[in-house]
Every structure is written in structure tokens, then in C-alpha cells.
Copies of this chain bind each other. A is one copy, B any other.
Amino acid sequence: MKKPNIVILGAGYGGIMTAVKLQKSMGVNEANISLVNKHSYHYQTTWLHENAAGTLHHDRTRIQIKDVIDTSKVNFLQDTVISIQPDEKKVTLENTALVYDYLVIGLGFEAETFGIPGLKEHAFGIKNINSSRLIRQHIEYNFAKYNNLKNPGEELLNIVVGGAGFTGIEFVGELANRVPELCKEYDIPREKVRIINVEAAPTALPGFDPALVEYAMNSLESRGVEFKIGAMIKEVTPEGLVYEKDEQRVEIPSNTVVWAAGVRGNSIVEESGFEAMRGRVKVREDMRTPDYDDVFVVGDCALIINEETDRPYPPTAQMAIQQADTVAHNVKVLARGEKELEPFEPNLQGTVASLGHDDAIGVVFNDKKLFGWSASVMKKVIDNRYLLKLGGIGLLLKKGKFNIFR
């Protein structure tokens, strides 16, 4: 009997957890499992803002795939996905092509720029390890230039963050911790540096409890973050960012505009002919695409509607990790020729947004609110649980966050 080919595209939260689950639950002789990823490493997308701010080194955020994948069970290909041909059950990679019996698409997100002129060209994005460490170095380079110029402009020291959602808030929280260190390193008075967070919605952290939002904004403002709430970004230029608020047009000169707002699914998904909304496939309850019984989607490219609110669940790491359980189970069932697929049921355990090293806000277990240090500890507990799940105690000890004391 021919062993079925299982191909997993992408080693983000969803892809790598699917691979880890499959290698635990299936025997070597049951299937050929291939995992395709552009880099030799997996990374924790939820930690990238720390790498971008320079408060955490990117080697803490990334995990070599060979350190968590059993290569005797899973074949790892470092390659880039070009397209998928679902009718032919084929995947075209940059350097080769694969055929599959069962496919798991975990290709992750792309930035959604909402057509704002200049955003794509002139703003940085917290997208991956490469782009995050570039932001870190870009900020530092501008600080390093400052005292070399006779009349340095404020564009060197104005850091503008587009979006006060989850990522935007977490990023400015890290920046607020990092900037005093940079000022010391480059002999720059702290008051010369501005951290400006621009948000179009009428509130920061839309969807969060107003008491938590207030706590977060107070904490960040006390550390020097400026908020421009209800401010529409009109344009990003080589000179800075333009927004409009209360019918006033404001230009902020800045070399460093970081877009931390919209994300969408992967364009490869759309281009490969799957029916998708902004790169997201509205999956069946067993996580398969509507049209193909052999294709699963996990993570940012999967769209699942929350029936209580009639809106999509936000594509978080937590969701992707839980989906991977269902996807791995269902792939195994199909690969064994069985039929009982299980439905995905999200079990949301709360959300905690970090505001810097020892501060955070969050909602956990049935709307219990958390503030400050206890929330920041909870955040680290969540992060550490993932590492334990992914790579066991060894990985937890190597990459975990244990700096919980003030």
C-alpha cells in the first residue's frame, strides 16, 4: 500500500504545531509528511514587536525547525511556495514541486495597507525576523546620525506607529522602554524623542474593555507615548506621515513610520484559485476548504465566523495553535482511510496585551480583567505554555520568559 503524502505549507504557529502533532500521533510507516518553510526557523510572531523595538533579541523569538521536528518522521524542505494547483494536487516551490494527498495551508498573513498612498513604499512592517531586526537597526541608525549633524531634524527621532490595535499598542510599549536606553547610548535628551501612535478608530485597542484601554493609555502616556486617536492616515512619504483629525491635516516629519495595523491572509491562496476574502478561506467546521476535501487551512489564512457576534474570530496565535490540533487530527483520520472528522471549536482563554517589560492588560477566563504586573506575568505564562507544547521542557528552558520579577 502506498503511503499518503501529507504536505504542510508554512511553519508558523499553525503549520509547525500541525507537524509536531502529526509526528507524535502517526507512525513512520503511515505517511510521508513534508513541511515547507522559507526559513530554517519558526518564529513567534507575537514576539516580533519586541525584536523590532530592540528589547528582545530575535534569537529568543526564533526556533530552528530541526530542534522541534523529528526529521526521521517529517521531511523539512527550506523553500518558498510559489503556487498551489489544488485540482492537480500539486504545489510549486521555488526550487522544486511536490504532489500531495493531503495539504495543510499555513502560509500566514500579509500587511493590509487599505490603499493608503505611500504606505507600502515608505512604512516598515513587523512582518518577520528580517523586517523586525531591520526596524530595530533603522531606529538606532537614525539616533546614531543625530549628533553628527549640525542641525539635525526631528524626523530622525520621531517614531510614528500606525495603528493602536493589539500589535501597535504592544510595540509602543516596548519602544517606551527602549527609547531611554537609546538616548543614553547616543547622548540624546529623552525629550527630543517622540513616540506617536496614530489610530483611525475612536479608541485605542478597539474591542477591549474601556477600563483596560484607559489603564493602557495612562501607562503608555506616562512613559511618553503620544496618542492621535480618531486620526486617519492620509499618506506616508519619504518625509513622514500625514494624518487628518477633526478636519485638520497634520504632517509628522519622520524617517521611521511603522505600520502595525491591518493584516490579511496570503495572496498565494487567492492566486491559486481558492475562494477567499482578503486572502482568507472561509473553512468548513473540520478546517477544510469549501471546495477541496483534501486541503486544510490553518492560522491567518483560515476565516472562521464567531456565531455569537457574527464576525470573524481574530486570527491570533491562540486560534492557530488550537486549529492545529483539529487539523492534525483530521489529516490523520483521512490518511488512515477513516471518516470521523472532528469539528474545530475555539476555546478562547483570554487575551493579554503587553505594555512593556512589566506591565500589561488582559481579559482571561470569563471576562476577568487583569492589570499591570499580574497581567504581564500571565502574558509570560501563556508564552511559556506554547513553548512547552511545541518543544517540551528543553525548548521552554532555552527560549522561555522567566524575567517576571520587577
Residues of A within 8 A of B (CB): 130-131, 133-134, 136-138, 140-141, 144-145, 147-148, 185-187
Contacts and interface: CB of A to CB of B under 8 A. Distances in A.
Contacts of A145: 134
A131 B130 CA distance: 26
A135 B138 CA distance: 13
Contacts of A136: 144
Nearest to A40: B187
For the complex of A and B, 3 pairs with smallest distance between CB atoms = A137-B144, A141-B141, A130-B147
Contacts of A147: 130
Contacts of A131: 148
Given A130-B147, A133-B186, A138-B144, 12 more contacts: A131-B148, A133-B185, A134-B144, A134-B145, A134-B148, A136-B144, A137-B137, A137-B140, A137-B144, A138-B141, A140-B140, A140-B141
Of A137, A138, A140, chain B has the most CB atoms within 10 Å of the CB of A137
Question: So how many copies of this chain end up in the complex?
Answer: 2
Nearest to A138: B141
Interface of A is mostly: helix
A381 to B, nearest CB: 30
A267 to B, nearest CB: 15
Nearest to A149: B130
Contacts of A186: 133
Nearest to A146: B130
Nearest to A143: B137
A140 B137 CA distance: 7
A113 to B, nearest CB: 17
Nearest to A144: B137
A147 B131 CA distance: 9
A140 B136 CA distance: 11
Nearest to A39: B187
A133 B185 CA distance: 10
Contact of A137 (B133, B134, B141, B187): B141
A368 B356 CA distance: 57
Contacts of A134: 144-145, 148
19 contacts: A130-B147, A130-B148, A130-B187, A131-B148, A133-B144, A133-B185, A133-B186, A134-B144, A134-B145, A134-B148, A136-B144, A137-B137, A137-B140, A137-B141, A137-B144, A138-B141, A140-B140, A140-B141, A141-B141
Contacts of A144: 133-134, 136-138
Of A133, A136, A144, A145, chain B has the most CB atoms within 10 Å of the CB of A144
Nearest to A62: B187
Nearest to A145: B134
Nearest to A57: B185
A136 B145 CA distance: 11
Contacts of A137: 137, 140-141, 144
Contacts of A185: 133
Nearest to A134: B144
Contacts of A140: 137, 140-141
A131 to B, nearest CB: 6
A28 B213 CA distance: 61
A131 B140 CA distance: 14
A121 to B, nearest CB: 14
Nearest to A186: B133
Contacts of A133: 144, 185-186
Contacts of A138: 141, 144
A201 B314 CA distance: 65
A317 B134 CA distance: 38
A360 to B, nearest CB: 28
A144 to B, nearest CB: 4
A134 B137 CA distance: 12
A133 B134 CA distance: 18
